[in-house]
Structure 1
């Protein structure tokens, strides 16, 4: 078990007209989560590689780029070139997943796989040993501000068990509906990276909220110790 949970605020909830300012407000975060949506894999359309490049210029926090796109193999390199530190691709969108993961790693990025709420953990059986990160969606992807899906707790426990069975320890990230109200339970179930959008950028003091979420998450780690 890691010494501390990692907090990855999502800029989906930031003020994009003042992105540099908002990133400076959360420079105590461990990662910056950037949701890339193409309007096909999800109904929403969000950030191109230019936003990743702007974020890279604006802060020193590693960039955690979540590719919600139907053609990840055609677009990944744009985001790596723009400065991504982590790239996660959806299992549901990746035809040649092993090839995609190895390509990301060969380009010098950490690579991960994302599971939608209806996708079972067992699909990772043959790839788990290659991964730097697994991102578990605790909402259906496409929009911020959704409520946490309660069945995610069981899924996280299953994923942690799979990792232990294979003797590996990729980062386990959770995205969607994470807040101060449930973060300890999410960590207890097996997560060690928490994405939070509206919970951080909707707070009166985003920097203090990042610290609070990390503190509460670490209390969940202490219970697991």
Structure 2
């Protein structure tokens, strides 16, 4: 079944603990945490103190998406906080295979994020070993953007490659995910759907999560 990952950057930070509990009660599977450094992407999000607070509060797995330069510097700290999944951008490191192994050896699932303009060929050599691939369907760094339709081609291609070769990676999609685009992503082969503004602004979180999984 498709899993739903609320993006906590879209939550109300004045009520973060309450909204974490409410979203878990609504049926969320995994929380998605966007870490931005103001260099790899223009914006800055939250740092380790907030991640630590979230890890103490949440009872479902945590998925960290590093939109940072030098992603290697954070791995041990995330592992110590009990993070379950970490993804980095292929453009952010000179040694993606080594970083993938380092994440996995730290007890976390390793993922690689692909920007809308980044071709699958850049990570094809990593597909036999990677745990998940994060397909960005908007340009990273800003919330509330419109879904880029052509990115669905990557989802379908990665699903086909997975089935043809018996690979075990999951396909995660992030950006402009609502009920309509969620359905299209599921049909293309996505396993994990990240949604921020749509979920947190929905009047009924449980219904929104349920529909996204259908």
The reply to whether residue 209 of structure 1 matches residue 208 of structure 2 is: yes
SS in structure 2 opposite 1:108?
Answer: coil
Which residue does 2:18 correspond to in 1?
21
- By how many angstroms is 1:111 displaced? 0.7
Q: Distance in 2 between matches of 1:53 and 1:106?
A: 21
SS in structure 1 opposite 2:180?
Answer: coil
CA contact (8 A) 1:49 1:82 kept: no
Counterparts of residues 55-204 of structure 1 (less than 5 Å): 55-204=54-203
Which residue does 1:221 correspond to in 2?
none
Which residue does 1:12 correspond to in 2?
9
Q: Which runs of 5+ in 2 are unaligned?
A: none
Q: Where has structure 1 moved over 3 Å in runs of 4 or more?
A: none
Q: Distance in 1 between matches of 2:170 and 2:49?
A: 26
Give me the TM-score of the superposition, normalised by structure 1.
Answer: 0.91
1:46-101 CA-partner distances (Å, limit 9, x unpaired)? 12122221111112110010000001011222222222110001111121011101
Q: Distance in 2 between matches of 1:92 and 1:207?
A: 36
Give me the TM-score of the superposition, normalised by structure 2.
Answer: 0.95
SS in structure 2 opposite 1:122?
Answer: helix
- By how many angstroms is 1:211 displaced? 1.7
CA contact (8 A) 1:53 1:83 kept: no
1:120-140 CA-partner distances (Å, limit 9, x unpaired)? 011121111111110000000
- By how many angstroms is 1:157 displaced? 1.2
CA contact (8 A) 1:38 1:68 kept: yes
1:110-166 CA-partner distances (Å, limit 9, x unpaired)? 111110000001112111111111000000000111110010111111111222333
- By how many angstroms is 1:8 displaced? 0.4
Q: Which runs of 5+ in 1 are unaligned?
A: 216-225
